[in-house]
């Protein structure tokens, strides 16, 4: 999700949303506030990514950026028009425009983090609606990891973890056999974690 800058430097260029930390808020709070102010996104997975501190990364003055990344599913969190930024839009990470400042580097590091983390923590579900099909989940992993997965083996593995609740519902509005819907059981995950269980794809 990028915003188009309406002020120099890098005017008219796309950039990551962001802003300054206030003296009376933590940086976690600031990240959440900025995200909300610039995109309308709320109640999403948000985690500190990395802190960027090269001396010339902003041409105006010395700026240190503590970058955060959020995971969002587009169906349940629509973008709202906001006042801060002139324009906000979603991009495919395989078709990014050129970015302001060192934001391309920040995106690279975020993708690397996601790729690493998605394999051993159940954060992939943040990118899907609450109810999803196993094929959607598989496609998600195939996209993030950049590999093709075997359908039968994938289902076997995921279902054996006992983290998915099989619902009595199916997809609607598809032009083929409707797939069963599942839900991720976060409570069960935390419970299993206590006992030494490790999520792994």
Note the residues at the interface with DNA (CB under 7 A): 133-135, 150-153, 155-157, 170, 174-180, 200
66 binds a second copy (CB under 8 A): yes
Q: Tell whether omega for the bond before 192 is within 30 degrees of 0, i.e. cis.
A: no
For residues 16 and 57, the answer to whether their CB atoms sit within 8 Å is no
Q: Which of 125, 131, 1, 18 is nearest to 68 (CA)?
A: 18
For residues 104 and 96, the answer to whether their CB atoms sit within 8 Å is yes
For residue 155 the two structure tokens come to: 């289902």
User: Which of 19, 27, 74, 170 contacts a second copy by CB under 8 A?
Assistant: 27
Q: Which of 46, 44, 41, 74 is nearest to 140 (CA)?
A: 74
User: Is 87 tagged catalytic?
Assistant: yes
Query: In which element (H, E) is residue 194 found?
Result: helix 186-194
Q: Which is nearer to DNA, 66 or 192 (CB)?
A: 192
Q: Which does 175 bind (CB under 5 to 8 A by kind): a second copy, DNA, none?
A: DNA
In angstroms, the CA 100 to CA 66 distance is 16
Sheet holding 14-15, edge to edge: 14-15, 2-4, 87-89
141 binds a second copy (CB under 8 A): no
User: Which of 8, 9, 19, 53 contacts a second copy by CB under 8 A?
Assistant: 53
Q: Which does 156 bind (CB under 5 to 8 A by kind): a second copy, DNA, none?
A: DNA
User: Which of 6, 12, 64, 108 contacts a second copy by CB under 8 A?
Assistant: 64
Set 12, 76, 80, 87: catalytic member: 87
User: Which of 6, 11, 26, 162 contacts a second copy by CB under 8 A?
Assistant: 26
Q: Which is nearer to DNA, 104 or 140 (CB)?
A: 140
Q: Which does 58 bind (CB under 5 to 8 A by kind): a second copy, DNA, none?
A: none
């Amino acid at each position: 999700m990028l915003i188009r800058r309406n002020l120099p430097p890098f005017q008219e260029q796309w950039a990551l949303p962001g802003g300054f930390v206030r003296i009376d808020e933590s940086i976690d709070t600031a990240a959440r506030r900025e995200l909300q102010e610039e995109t309308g996104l709320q109640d999403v997975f948000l985690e500190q990514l990395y802190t960027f501190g090269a001396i010339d990364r902003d041409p105006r003055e010395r700026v240190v950026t503590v970058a955060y990344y959020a995971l969002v599913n587009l169906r349940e969190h629509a973008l709202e028009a906001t006042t801060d930024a002139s324009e906000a839009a979603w991009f495919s990470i395989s078709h990014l425009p050129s970015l302001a400042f060192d934001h391309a580097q920040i995106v690279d590091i975020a993708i690397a983090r996601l790729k690493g983390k998605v394999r051993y923590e159940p954060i992939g579900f943040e990118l899907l609606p609450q109810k999803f099909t196993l094929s959607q989940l598989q496609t998600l992993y195939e996209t993030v990891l950049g590999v093709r997965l075997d359908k039968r083996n994938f289902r076997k593995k995921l279902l054996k973890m006992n983290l998915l609740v099989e619902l009595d519902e199916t997809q609607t509005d598809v032009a083929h056999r409707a797939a069963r819907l599942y839900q991720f059981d976060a409570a069960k995950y935390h419970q299993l974690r206590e006992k030494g269980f490790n999520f792994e794809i």
